[in-house]
């Protein structure tokens, strides 16, 4: 097996030590760092997302895989800059007011970081105003809202409304995600994108940012 295949398996298994070793030997073998990231770790996290959705993986497996990817990314990041993978854009993320569950949000943050985004993580229990202020301060055009509970999901709508009230509906795109969130709900509250899982959130984020380039 080549370095990338081994890295892919070890990321899925969540073996952080092995992931770091694999990346080092892949770098030593002059494999393109972007290829190491995309085909080794990001593809693996997509598979982890699928396994979770199918009920074959649970939260612990996902956390451990995420931790392995984080360790790998720490080693790989300086090399990615070397190969001129520039910052794609800024994104502000956080869990909505009342929700303290940050596992999903952290995974999305990790994947966005891997994809070259500058991630501004506001943490948990973030009020609508805090989201608005952070987007303004950082001049971010993209905001990601996360909720695990059906009881806190309505605060996504309040946050979307707060951006509208601040006159930022046209300058900021909002993406939402989390276990109870659906495409229908996303449309209903007028959010701009729905990330069904962490890897799909990255495609949505890229897509939303590209709207500003036109």
Residue 183 interacting with other proteins (CB under 8 A): no
Q: Specify the stretch interacting with other proteins by CB under 8 A; choose among 84-92, 107-115, 178-186, 197-205.
A: 178-186
Task: Return the number of the residue (103 or 169) whose C-beta is nearest other proteins.
Answer: 103
Handedness of CA 79, 82, 86, 87 (dihedral sign): positive
> Measured from the CB of residue 174, what is the shortest distance to other proteins in angstroms?
18
Residue 100 interacting with other proteins (CB under 8 A): yes
Among residues 3, 15, 99, 121, the one that binds other proteins under rule CB under 8 A:
99
Among residues 38, 46, 124, 138, the one that binds other proteins under rule CB under 8 A:
124
Among residues 27, 43, 51, 64, the one that binds other proteins under rule CB under 8 A:
64
Task: Return the number of the residue (14 or 114) whose C-beta is nearest other proteins.
Answer: 14
Q: 53-75 burial, b if ≥16 CB within 10 A, otherwise e?
A: eeeebeeebbebbbebbbbbbeb
Using CB under 8 A, count the residues that bind other proteins: 30
SS (H, E, C) 71-118: HHHHHHHHHHHHCCCCCCEEEEEEEECCCCCCHHHHHHHHHHHHCCEE
Mention every residue, 6+ apart, whose C-beta is less than 8 A from residue 214. Answer: none
Residue 184 interacting with other proteins (CB under 8 A): yes
Residue 200 interacting with other proteins (CB under 8 A): no
The Cα diameter of the chain in Å comes to: 55
Q: Which among 16, 207, 18 has a CA at the least distance from the CA of 112?
A: 207
Interaction with other proteins in 14-43: which residues (CB under 8 A)? none
Phi, psi of 32 (to 5 degrees): -55, 125
**CB neighbourhood size of 130 (10 A):** 17
**Which neighbouring-strand residues pair with 45?**
none
Residue 131 interacting with other proteins (CB under 8 A): no
Site residues (CB under 8 A) for other proteins?
53-55, 58-60, 63-64, 67, 97-103, 124-125, 149-154, 179-180, 182, 184-185, 188
């Amino acid at each position: 097996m080549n370095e990338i295949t081994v890295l892919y398996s070890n990321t899925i298994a969540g073996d952080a030590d092995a992931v770091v070793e694999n990346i080092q030997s892949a770098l030593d073998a002059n494999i393109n760092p972007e290829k190491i990231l995309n085909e080794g770790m990001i593809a693996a996290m997509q598979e982890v997302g699928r396994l979770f959705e199918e009920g074959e993986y649970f939260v612990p497996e996902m956390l451990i895989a995420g931790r392995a990817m984080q360790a790998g990314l720490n080693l790989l990041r300086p090399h990615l800059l070397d190969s001129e993978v520039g910052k794609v854009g800024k994104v502000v993320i956080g869990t909505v007011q009342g929700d303290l569950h940050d596992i999903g949000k952290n995974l999305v943050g990790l994947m966005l970081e891997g994809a070259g985004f500058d991630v501004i993580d506001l943490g948990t229990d973030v009020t609508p105003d805090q989201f608005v202020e952070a987007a303004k301060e950082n001049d971010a055009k993209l905001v990601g809202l996360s909720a695990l509970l059906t009881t806190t999901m309505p605060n996504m709508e309040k946050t979307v409304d707060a951006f509208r009230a601040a006159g930022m509906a046209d300058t900021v795109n909002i993406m939402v995600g989390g276990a109870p969130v659906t495409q229908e709900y996303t449309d209903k509250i007028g959010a701009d994108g729905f990330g069904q899982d962490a890897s799909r959130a990255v495609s949505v984020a890229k897509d939303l940012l590209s709207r500003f380039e036109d």
